[in-house]
């Protein structure tokens, strides 16, 4: 897979083509998806979650995921990530050549049943099957395998989830063969203190190296504050969605990924190198709005523009 | 003046009736202002910037400030703050009985000339006159006097302002008789690293006790992340505006105070006691929207609602 760290301090992982597109009714044409992915990669985005291997009848918006993965793999230096709901999806992802596979495990069993229609034990069994499948591959063909702890900051159906349950599920994912676990604020319930607490809790179980990333929503406006808390704890991979499109259609009122443009601005303003050219990133919005004319795009930076005299992180380092 | 700290951890200072109303064309009726202030105080807000003593021909929206101060002073436990542009305004504020007087000093001289039509030396001279005026009062009648360093994170006209200039102006305000200085991101240029840097810089000049508050905008979506950075540095007073109305009409593209509702949610979610009842605070929006039907109200929490199982900070402490 592509070098996910490279010279940069922070990996901004774009999830719009998966999380964004699965949350809206419109189906983006395959050619537009390719143009979007190519433009974001050209702007310096090093990892993009390009789709999900789910049955087309469930998510027709992502029915072209195999073709999109094949296309994205032709872009030099891009880590191509996909979501999979189960081992069958993982097999398809491996066949397509994905660099990274993410299996969500909702720590709220109620949400897991509503979302994936599976109990915790059933999801862990899928993780084990995926782990076994990956271990059987030659090392150079193995995708990075992440188990994503979703609804980890609370569930719209159950409320807060006990720490012990989260710790147990994180350990079970690692035992099943995951390379790492991620934290996902599916419901937009996180706050900075909860982010810090959860990182400490889960790292205590899986080790620091096996928790590097977080998926945050901006449902209650705290998305970037939560990102800052995660950065302060040493996380280095932050998911975001161009224009903030997307969220979780199964968690009522929980829409709204953090906005890639605003996140990259915050990071670069802080002197953290993302490798992303902000002006080029902002220009990608035109591709998405042209392909999805009826969808609302979010973000503050696109209207406010960069501050006068703004200096990207890499130029500060060079100065 | 009212006890600004009391049992709470953080003082959320509502600036909507001043900063919000001065930035919009509509003039809110005096009765509606009173209802707004009374309702926010009843929700637990302990400090409100209720107006500005500027000539009515410049800001007709705030022409009733003396009447509003007199009314607000009748509310038990409320610290009544006002903005003043000069010593003449301060004299009016003192006569009206304001608990706190804030004099803005734009660290960008270009912005100072555009905003207050005064050079730095002229503003410092006004600060000295105000300091002398306050010192001549009996101790129990002295208002708290803050010098607010505006455009401190950069200016839309000048770009970044040199640290040495900021340090010099902070010292000059304290020498003039200010009880403390505040930081104001007038232009929405701040980022969390800049907030931390600026707090260290200014505290190095004025001492920790003389910098406790910050005024942040959400122009580029970083308002709450910047607030978190300020909290981490130990600041305890955060300005915010109900519904995020307001900003700086003299800094193009720089509108958007941080939203009181979202800020209070973040603080309470983090276990920091504000003394504010979130449901009661949310209900205050109805007063403002009824009085300003054409103004856009911002904020995420009002739409998203509180998380299932949300526990306010005071209840966590009691548990």
CB contacts, 8 Å: A219 with chain B: 300, 304
User: B265 vs A222: CB contact, 8 Å cut-off?
Assistant: yes
Two tokens, residue B253: 């593209």
Comparing CA positions, the residue from B231, B197, B196 lying closest to residue B213 is B231
CB contacts, 8 Å: A225 with chain B: 224-225, 227-228, 266
Q: Residue B136 pLDDT > 50, yes or no?
A: yes
pLDDT band for position B251 (50/70/90)? very low
CB within 8 Å of B44: residues ≥ 6 apart: B274, B275, B276, B277, B280, B281
pLDDT band for position B247 (50/70/90)? low
Two tokens, residue A201: 């809790």
Comparing CA positions, the residue from B275, B212, B267 lying closest to residue B42 is B275
pLDDT for residue A247: 56
Beta bridge partners of A182: A148
Catalytic residue among B155, B178, B233, B248: B248
pLDDT for residue A6: 59
Say if CB B189 and CB B183 are below 8 A apart.
Answer: no
Two tokens, residue B267: 């603080």
The predicted model gives A72-98 an average pLDDT of: 98
pLDDT for residue B255: 59
Two tokens, residue A69: 């993965």
Q: Residue B254 pLDDT > 50, yes or no?
A: no
Say if CB B107 and CB B169 are below 8 A apart.
Answer: yes
CB contacts, 8 Å: B197 with chain A: none
User: A270 vs B193: CB contact, 8 Å cut-off?
Assistant: yes
Q: Does A316 touch chain B (CB under 8 A)?
A: no
Say if CB A104 and CB A69 are below 8 A apart.
Answer: no
Say if CB A224 and CB A218 are below 8 A apart.
Answer: yes
Q: Residue B217 pLDDT > 90, yes or no?
A: yes
User: B159 vs A265: CB contact, 8 Å cut-off?
Assistant: no
User: A301 vs B221: CB contact, 8 Å cut-off?
Assistant: yes
* Gap between the Cα atoms of A184 and A239, Å rounded: 9
For chain B, percent of residues with pLDDT exceeding 70:
95
Q: In order of start, what are the domains of chain B with their CATH numbers?
A: 11-318 (3.20.20.70)
User: A158 vs B308: CB contact, 8 Å cut-off?
Assistant: yes
Two tokens, residue A60: 């027709």
CB within 8 Å of A183: residues ≥ 6 apart: A148, A149, A152, A153, A195, A198, A199, A202, A211, A213, A214, A215
User: A194 vs B299: CB contact, 8 Å cut-off?
Assistant: no
User: A156 vs B308: CB contact, 8 Å cut-off?
Assistant: yes
pLDDT for residue A255: 59
The predicted model gives B133-145 an average pLDDT of: 97
The predicted model gives A30-58 an average pLDDT of: 97
* Gap between the Cα atoms of B259 and B117, Å rounded: 29
Say if CB B47 and CB B11 are below 8 A apart.
Answer: yes
Q: Residue A7 pLDDT > 90, yes or no?
A: no
* Gap between the Cα atoms of A39 and B84, Å rounded: 50
CB within 8 Å of A28: residues ≥ 6 apart: A21, A36, A61, A291, A292
Residue A231 Cα to chain centre, angstroms: 16
Q: Does B184 touch chain A (CB under 8 A)?
A: no
Q: A237-258: per-residue pLDDT in tens?
A: 999 999 998 754 444 444 589 9
Residues 142 through 161 of chain A touching chain B, CB cutoff 8 Å:
154-160
Q: Residue B2 pLDDT > 60, yes or no?
A: no
Range in A264-268, B200-204, B216-220 with the lowest mean pLDDT: B216-220
pLDDT band for position B249 (50/70/90)? very low
Gyration radius of chain A over CA positions: 18
CB contacts, 8 Å: B269 with chain A: 191, 193-194, 222
B248 is catalytic: yes
The predicted model gives B221-243 an average pLDDT of: 97
* Gap between the Cα atoms of B13 and B213, Å rounded: 9
Q: B173-195: per-residue pLDDT in tens?
A: 999 999 999 999 999 999 999 99
CB contacts, 8 Å: A300 with chain B: 218-222, 256
| Helix count and strand count (H, E) for chain A | 13, 8
For chain A, percent of residues with pLDDT exceeding 70:
95
DSSP letter for each residue of A50-81 = EEE-S-TTT-GGGTTHHHHHHHHTTSTT-EEE
Q: Which residue in the set A157, A300, A308 is minimally distant from B219, CB to CB?
A: A300
pLDDT band for position A27 (50/70/90)? very high
Q: B59-109: per-residue pLDDT in tens?
A: 999 999 999 999 999 999 999 999 999 999 999 999 999 999 999 999 999
Classify B78 as helix, strand or coil: coil
Tell me the pLDDT of chain A averaged across its residues: 93
| Helices assigned H by DSSP within chain A | 21-22, 30-42, 65-72, 87-96, 109-115, 120-135, 163-175, 192-206, 223-232, 260-269, 278-291, 301-304, 313-318
B27 burial level (CB within 10 Å; 0-12, 13-18, 19+): middle
Q: Which residue in the set A189, A300, A305 is minimally distant from B307, CB to CB?
A: A189
Nearest chain B residue to A225 by CA distance is B225
Say if CB A12 and CB A260 are below 8 A apart.
Answer: yes
* Gap between the Cα atoms of A12 and A48, Å rounded: 9
Q: Does A165 touch chain B (CB under 8 A)?
A: no
Pick left, alpha or beta for residue A259 (phi over 0 → left; psi -120 to 50 → alpha; otherwise beta): beta
Q: Residue B246 pLDDT > 80, yes or no?
A: no
* Gap between the Cα atoms of B269 and B304, Å rounded: 14
Residue of A152, A194, A221, A278 to mutate for B, most B C-beta atoms under 10 A: A221
pLDDT for residue A251: 44
* Gap between the Cα atoms of A184 and A178, Å rounded: 16
């Amino acid at each position: 897979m592509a070098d996910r760290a490279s010279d940069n301090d922070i990996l901004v992982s774009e999830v719009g083509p998966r999380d964004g597109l699965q949350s809206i009714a419109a189906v983006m044409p395959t050619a537009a998806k390719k143009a979007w992915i190519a433009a974001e990669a050209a702007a310096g985005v090093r990892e993009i979650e390009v789709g999900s291997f789910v049955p087309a009848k469930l998510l027709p918006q992502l029915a072209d995921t195999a073709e999109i993965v094949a296309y994205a793999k032709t872009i030099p230096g891009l880590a191509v990530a996909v979501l999979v709901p189960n081992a069958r999806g993982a097999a398809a992802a491996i066949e397509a050549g994905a660099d990274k596979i993410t299996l969500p495990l909702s720590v709220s069993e109620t949400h897991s049943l509503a979302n994936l229609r599976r109990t915790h034990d059933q999801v862990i069994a899928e993780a084990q099957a995926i782990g076994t499948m990956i271990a059987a591959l030659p090392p150079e063909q193995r995708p990075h395998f992440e188990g994503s702890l979703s609804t980890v900051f609370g569930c719209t159906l159950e409320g807060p989830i006990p720490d012990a349950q989260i710790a147990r599920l994180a350990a079970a994912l690692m035992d099943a063969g995951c390379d790492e676990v991620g934290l996902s604020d599916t419901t937009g319930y996180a706050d900075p203190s909860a982010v810090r607490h959860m990182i400490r809790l889960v790292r205590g179980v899986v080790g620091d190296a096996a928790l590097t990333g977080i998926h945050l929503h901006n449902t209650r406006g705290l998305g970037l504050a939560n990102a800052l808390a995660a950065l302060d704890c040493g996380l280095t991979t932050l998911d975001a969605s161009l224009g903030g499109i997307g969220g979780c259609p199964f968690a009522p009122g929980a829409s709204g990924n953090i906005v890639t443009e605003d996140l990259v601005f915050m990071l670069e303003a802080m002197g953290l190198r993302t490798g992303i050219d902000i002006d080029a990133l902002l220009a990608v919005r035109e591709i998405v709005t042209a392909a999805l004319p009826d969808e609302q795009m979010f973000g503050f930076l696109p209207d406010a523009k960069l501050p006068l005299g703004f200096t990207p992180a890499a130029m500060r380092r060079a100065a």
